[in-house]
Amino acid sequence: MVRVVVSGASGRMGREVVRAVTREKDLELVGAVDVSHIGEDCGVLAGLEPNGVLVADDLSALLEEFKPDVMVDFTAPTAVAKNVICALEAGVRPVIGTTGMPAADLERIMRLAEERRIGGLVAPNFAIGAVLMMRFAAMAAKFFPTVEIIELHHDQKIDAPSGTAVQTAEMIAAVREDFRANTGREELKLAGARGAEYRGGLRIHSVRLPGLVAHQEVLFGGQGQTLTIRHDSITRESFMPGVILAIRRVMGLDRIVYGLDKLIFE
């Protein structure tokens, strides 16, 4: 049995993770943490039968008491690094879905995990379709000179651009030297109208609308042709097979890896 704690258990993704972990016979939900709904049964919050796992507010006390194998974190950009450091210090493997973590925090937790030889995963997107979309975009970027990314999310999303858009841009820049340089071009009349420039003219546009979940288009322009690669997460269930796979796979890692693609393709 892999013992799992969910951090952010009262949130949209956290409740989905509670449901998903509960369905798996080889996973045991031993704890739930959040800053909201403290003391409530996380099964009931997730729309299930009561499971006796009450939402706690003290992550380190919970990790100390229940000694889980894995902590899944879907909280907020300002909360995630502290939670992960707490997990690593307790010897617990983090599976991190929270996006928008500052680069310095990401580097810090990766270094700490390596020093302590603890496995983990940071995945900006757990949906297999999104992982494929990023991979296909990196393939197509070798053949089309111009690329723009449009990411569309629900209006409660805190960070912009999305972690998926950033990872897509990183994967494209890894195969295209011209997207690794800063152009410093200032061509805007109305600031922001052309989206944000990741680097080298690679642009990201962020749309926020109620009713959306998580969507992205990668648009390529070439001579007399365009190519559009699009992925849509229609419900948050789309992320759950990836989260479950990650919980199982981090048990065999000795460092934190970035991107679900590393677990699927490598």
Identify whether the C-beta of residue 263 lies closer than 8 Å to the C-beta of residue 246: yes
22 binds ligand NAP (CB under 6 A): no
User: Which of helix, strand or coil describes residue 64?
Assistant: helix
The correct pick among 1, 12, 50, 185 for binding ligand NAP (CB under 6 A) is: 12
Q: Where in 76-105 is the site for ligand NAP (CB under 6 A)?
A: 76, 79, 83, 97-100
The correct pick among 21, 33, 118, 219 for binding ligand NAP (CB under 6 A) is: 33
Q: Which two tokens stand for residue 90?
A: 């307790």
Q: What is the CA radius of gyration of the chain?
A: 19
List the strands of the sheet with 70-73, edge to edge.
55-56, 27-33, 2-7, 70-73, 93-96, 120-122, 256-258
Identify whether the C-beta of residue 204 lies closer than 8 Å to the C-beta of residue 156: no
153 is catalytic: yes
10 binds ligand NAP (CB under 6 A): yes
38 binds ligand NAP (CB under 6 A): no
Residue of 153, 205, 215, 231 marked active site: 153
120 binds ligand NAP (CB under 6 A): no
Q: Which two tokens stand for residue 241?
A: 């097979």
126 binds ligand NAP (CB under 6 A): yes
Closest separation in Å from C-beta 199 to ligand NAP: 22
157 is catalytic: yes
The correct pick among 2, 5, 6, 8 for binding ligand NAP (CB under 6 A) is: 8
Closest separation in Å from C-beta 201 to ligand NAP: 26
The correct pick among 18, 29, 32, 123 for binding ligand NAP (CB under 6 A) is: 123
Compute how many residues bind ligand NAP; rule: CB under 6 A: 27
Length of the chain: 266
240 binds ligand NAP (CB under 6 A): no
Query: Which string of DSSP letters, residue by residue, matches 176-228?
Result: -GGGGS-------SSTTTT-EEEETTEEEEEEE-TT--EEEEEEEEETTEEEE
The correct pick among 2, 4, 6, 7 for binding ligand NAP (CB under 6 A) is: 7
Query: Which string of DSSP letters, residue by residue, matches 71-94?
Result: EEE-S-TTTHHHHHHHHHHTTPEE
| CA 132, chain centre distance (Å) | 15
* Segment interacting with ligand NAP, rule: CB under 6 A, options 30-38, 45-53, 183-191, 250-258: 30-38
Q: Which residues bind ligand NAP (CB under 6 A)?
A: 7-8, 10-14, 33-36, 74-76, 79, 83, 97-100, 123-126, 157, 214, 239
